[in-house]
Structure 1
Amino acid sequence: MRFVLWITGLFALAVLLGLASTLNNGYAILFFPPYRMEVSFNLMIVGVLVLIAVAYGILRLIGVAANMPTEVRAFQRQKKLKAARHALREAGIAFFEGRFQKAEREAARAIDDEYAPENRALALLIAARSAGMMQNFDKRDAYLARLDTVPERLQLARHMVDAELRLEAKDLLGALAAIERARAVAPNLTNALRLELKVRMLQKQPDAVLALTEKLLKADALEPEQARRYRMAAYCQQLEGLPSGEAIRNWWRRIPEVERQNPDLVRPTVERLEDLGDFDQAAQLIGAALVSDDTTLPELALGLARLAEHVSGEKRLALLREAEAWLQVRPRDHLLLFALGRLAAEEHLWGKAQSYLEASLSLEPTLMAHAALARLYEAIGKPEEAEHHYQRSLALALERGA
C-alpha cells in the first residue's frame, strides 16, 4: 500500500512540475563579462538543482575518503572482536568438555581482543581454571593477577575461583584468604561457606566445622544427611584431642542426644576410652547404644564382649541387670547373647553364662561362642563337654577356611 502511494505521489508531482513549466515563460540573463547569456528560467532551475546534487556527491566522496582509515580500523577491530567472541565460546565449551588445554588456549586468544570487561573477566577465569586443572600454577597465578584490572563488581567471581583452585592444590591458607576476600564482598554467600567448611575440615578445626554446618543447614544449603556426616567427622576430630576419660565424659554430655545414638560416633569413642584404659565408661556407652534396634549395632555387641574381662565387677553386674531391656529390643541378636555370656562367665555366674551362650549358638553357631562354652565347661569341671565344643569350633574353622 505504501509503495502505491509513493508512485501516485511521484506522478502527481511530475504533472504539477510539467504544468508549472508551461505557465512560466520567464528567462534569466547570465552575465559573464564580456559574455551575456539568456536562458529559460525553468532550465536555470534544473541546472541549479543538478549543480547542488553534483556538489553534494563530491563532498560526500571527499568525506568517505577522509574517513576511510577510521572505517578500516573499525572493521579490523570488529573482525578481531568477532574472533575473540568465537574463541570465548569455544573456550567455555572445551572447559565443560574437560579439554582444559584447548580451553586455556582459546580463552587466552579471547583476552586481548575483548573490550567488554565482563567477557574479558570470563575469559581470564576460564583460562585460570583450566591452567589450574593442568597443574600449571605459574600460568594460573598470572591469569588471576590480570583479574585485578577488572571492575570491582566482577571481583567476587575472581575470589571464588581463586579459592577453589587453591583448595584443589591443598594450599589451605591461600584458599582461606581468598574465601575471606569473597565473603567481604558477599558475606552470606553459601558457596563461600561450603568452601570454608571443606578448608576447616582439612585444617582439623572441628569447632569451626560445627558452626559452619549449622549455618549452612539453617540456610537450606546443606542436606541433613550431609550435615550429619560433617558433624560426625568434627566430633571424631574433637575426640582425638581429648586426653582423659573425664574429658571424654564432659565432651560426650555436650553432644546432642540424637547424635549420641549414632554407632559411627559410639564406636570411635569406645575405642578411644579403651586406649585410655577407661573400660567402665566404654561399656556404659555401649550399653546406652544397645537400647536402639539399629541394625548396624552388632559390632558394638562384640565390643562389649571384648570389654567383659576388663570392666569392674560392679559394672559387669550393672550391665547384666540391663540385659533384659536390651534383649527385648534385640531378642535374636546372637552377638549380644554372646557378650552377655562373656560378662556372666567373668562373674562366675556359670548357669546364666551357659544359657546365654547356648542361646547364641542356637541362633548362629560361631567359633567364639563354642570356644567360650568350652572354657566355661573347663572352669566347672566338665572336660567332655569342653572337648565337644572345642571340636565343634575346630570343625567350623576348617569348614569356613575351606
Structure 2
Amino acid sequence: MKFVIWIVGLFALAVLVGLASTVNTGYAILFLPPYRMEVSFNALIIGILLLIVVVHFVLRLIGIAARMPEEVRRFQRQKKLKAARHALREAGIAFFEGRFQRAEREAIRAIDNEESEDNRALALLIAARAAGSMRDYDKRNQYLAKLDALPSRLQLAHHVLEAELKLDAKDAPGALAAVERARTISPNLTSALKIELRIRLLQKQPEAVLALTEKLLKSDAIDAEQARRYRLTAYRQQLAALTSGAEIQAWFKRIPDVERANPDLLADVVARLTELEDSDQAATLIAQALGDEELATPELAQKLGRLAASLSPDKRLALMHEAEGWLTSRPNDHLLLLALGRLALAQQLWGKAQSYLEASLSLTPTLTAHAELARLFEATGKEGEAHRHETQCLRMALEMGY
C-alpha cells in the first residue's frame, strides 16, 4: 500500500513541476567578470537541487570513510564478544557434563574476550571450579585471585565458591575464612551456613555443629533426618572427649529425651562406658532402655549379657530382679533369656542360670547359650552335660564356617 502511495505522489510531483516550469518564464543572470551568463530560472533551481544532492552524497562518503577504522574495530569487538559468549555457554555445558578440562579451556577463552564484568565473573567461577575438580590448586588459586579485582557485588559468589573448593581440598581454616567473608556480605546465607556446618564437623567442634544444625532446621534448609544425623555425629564427638563415667552420666542427662532414645547413640555411650570400665553405669542405661517397650531391642539384651561378668554383684542382682518384669512383656525373647542366664551364671546362681539358658535354647539354639551351659556344667561337676554342650558348640561353629 505504501508503495502505491509513493508512486502516486511522485507522479503528482512531476506534474506539478511540469506545470510550474511552463508558468515560470523568468531567467537568472550569473556574472563572474569578465564572464556573464543568462540561464533559465527553472534550470537554476534544478542545478541548485542537483548540487545539494551531490554535496550531500560526497559528505556522506567522506563521513563513511572517516568512520571506517572505528567500524572495523567495532566489528572485531562484536566478533570477539560473540565468540566469548559462545565459549561461556560451552564452558557451562562442559562443566555440568563433568568434562572439567574442556570447561576450563572454554572459560579461559570467554575471560580473554569478554567485556561484561558479570560474564567475566561467571567464566572465572567456572574455571576455578573446574580446576579445583581436577585438583589443580595452583590454577584454582589464580582464578580466585582474579575474582578479587571484580566489583563488590560479585564477591559473594566468589567467597562461597572459594569456601567450597577449599573444603573439598580439606583446607578447613581457609574454607572457614572464606565463609566468614561471605557472611559479612550476607549473614544468613543458607549455603554459607551449610558449608560452615561441614567445616565444624571436620574440625570436630560439636557445640558449633549443634547450633548450626538447629539454625538450618528452623530455616527449612535441612530436613529432620539430616538434622538427626548431624546431631548424632556431634554427640559422638562430645562423647569421645569425656573421660569418666560421671562426666558421661551428667552429659547424657543434658541431651534432649528424643536424642537419648536414639539406639545408635545409646550403643555408643554403652561402648564408651565399657571402655572406661564403668560397666555398672553402662548396664543401668541398657536396663532403662529395656524397660521401655519402644526402645527395647534384642541387641540391647545381647549387650547386657556381654557385660555380665564385669558387673558388681549388687548390680547383677538388681538387674535380675528388674528383668522379671521385662520377661512378662517379652517371654519369647531368647536374647533376653540368654542375658539373664549369663547374669545368673556370673552370680553363681546355678539353678536360675540353667533354667534361663535352657529356655533360651528351646526358643533359638545359639552358640553362646551352648557355651554358657557348658561352663555352668563344668562348674557344677557335670562333665557329661558339659561335654554334650561343647560338642554342640563345635558342630554349630563348623556349620557357621568358623
* TM-score band, normalised by shorter chain: over 0.9
Residues 295 and 285 of structure 1, relative CA distance in 2, 3 Å threshold = closer
The within-5 A match list for 1:382-401 is 382-401=382-401
- Unaligned stretches of 5+ residues in structure 2: none
Partner of 2:171: 171
In the alignment, does 2:138 pair up with 1:138?
yes
Which amino acid in the other structure matches residue 64 of structure 1?
A: I
Partner of 1:273: 273
CA distance in 2, matches of 1:243, 1:69: 81
SS of equivalent residue, structure 2 residue 159 = helix
Partner of 2:201: 201
Partner of 1:108: 108
SS of equivalent residue, structure 2 residue 310 = coil
Does the aligned pair in 2 maintain the 1:28–1:40 contact within 8 Å? yes
115-124 or 291-300: bigger deviation: 291-300
The within-5 A match list for 1:1-400 is 1-292=1-292, 297-328=297-328, 330-400=330-400
CA distance in 2, matches of 1:171, 1:210: 22
- Unaligned stretches of 5+ residues in structure 1: none
Does the aligned pair in 1 maintain the 2:289–2:295 contact within 8 Å? no
Residues 398 and 84 of structure 1, relative CA distance in 2, 3 Å threshold = same
Q: Deviations over 1:16-57 (max 9, x none)?
A: 222222222222222222222222222211111110010011
CA distance in 2, matches of 1:350, 1:7: 125
CA distance in 2, matches of 1:279, 1:100: 55
**How far 1:2 moved relative to its partner?**
3.0
CA distance in 1, matches of 2:327, 2:61: 105
CA distance in 2, matches of 1:249, 1:285: 9
SS of equivalent residue, structure 1 residue 277 = coil
TM-score, normalised relative to structure 2: 0.95
**How far 1:331 moved relative to its partner?**
4.1
CA distance in 1, matches of 2:98, 2:203: 29
Does the aligned pair in 2 maintain the 1:291–1:329 contact within 8 Å? no
SS of equivalent residue, structure 2 residue 187 = coil
Does the aligned pair in 2 maintain the 1:357–1:373 contact within 8 Å? yes
Residues 153 and 305 of structure 1, relative CA distance in 2, 3 Å threshold = same
**How far 1:367 moved relative to its partner?**
0.9
CA distance in 1, matches of 2:392, 2:140: 67
Does the aligned pair in 2 maintain the 1:293–1:330 contact within 8 Å? no
SS of equivalent residue, structure 1 residue 149 = coil
SS of equivalent residue, structure 2 residue 37 = strand
CA distance in 2, matches of 1:322, 1:295: 16
CA distance in 2, matches of 1:183, 1:71: 46
Residues 220 and 31 of structure 1, relative CA distance in 2, 3 Å threshold = same
Structure 1 stretches of at least 4 aligned residues deviating more than 6 Å after TM superposition: none
**How far 1:78 moved relative to its partner?**
1.2
338-347 or 182-191: bigger deviation: 338-347
**How far 1:207 moved relative to its partner?**
0.6
Give the root-mean-square deviation of aligned CA atoms: 1.8
CA distance in 2, matches of 1:94, 1:397: 57
**How far 1:353 moved relative to its partner?**
2.3
CA distance in 1, matches of 2:181, 2:331: 58
Which amino acid in the other structure matches residue 389 of structure 2?
A: H
SS of equivalent residue, structure 2 residue 400 = helix
**How far 1:327 moved relative to its partner?**
3.5
11-20 or 302-311: bigger deviation: 11-20
**How far 1:333 moved relative to its partner?**
2.7
**How far 1:330 moved relative to its partner?**
4.2
CA distance in 2, matches of 1:67, 1:284: 93
Residues 43 and 332 of structure 1, relative CA distance in 2, 3 Å threshold = farther
Which amino acid in the other structure matches residue 150 of structure 1?
A: L
Residues 49 and 152 of structure 1, relative CA distance in 2, 3 Å threshold = same
Residues 311 and 163 of structure 1, relative CA distance in 2, 3 Å threshold = same
CA distance in 1, matches of 2:155, 2:284: 54
CA distance in 1, matches of 2:255, 2:295: 22
Q: Deviations over 1:340-392 (max 9, x none)?
A: 11112223333332232122112211111011122223334433333322222
**How far 1:94 moved relative to its partner?**
1.2
Which amino acid in the other structure matches residue 365 of structure 1?
A: P
Does the aligned pair in 1 maintain the 2:290–2:296 contact within 8 Å? no
Residues 76 and 378 of structure 1, relative CA distance in 2, 3 Å threshold = same
CA distance in 1, matches of 2:228, 2:191: 19
CA distance in 1, matches of 2:251, 2:4: 94
Does the aligned pair in 2 maintain the 1:292–1:329 contact within 8 Å? no
307-316 or 52-61: bigger deviation: 307-316
Residues 289 and 34 of structure 1, relative CA distance in 2, 3 Å threshold = same
State the identity %.
67
**How far 1:329 moved relative to its partner?**
5.2
Which amino acid in the other structure matches residue 278 of structure 2?
A: D
Equivalenced residue count is: 402
**How far 1:259 moved relative to its partner?**
1.0
CA distance in 2, matches of 1:257, 1:200: 24
CA distance in 2, matches of 1:188, 1:376: 65
Q: Deviations over 1:83-108 (max 9, x none)?
A: 11111111111111111111111111
**How far 1:148 moved relative to its partner?**
1.3
SS of equivalent residue, structure 1 residue 37 = strand
328-337 or 262-271: bigger deviation: 328-337
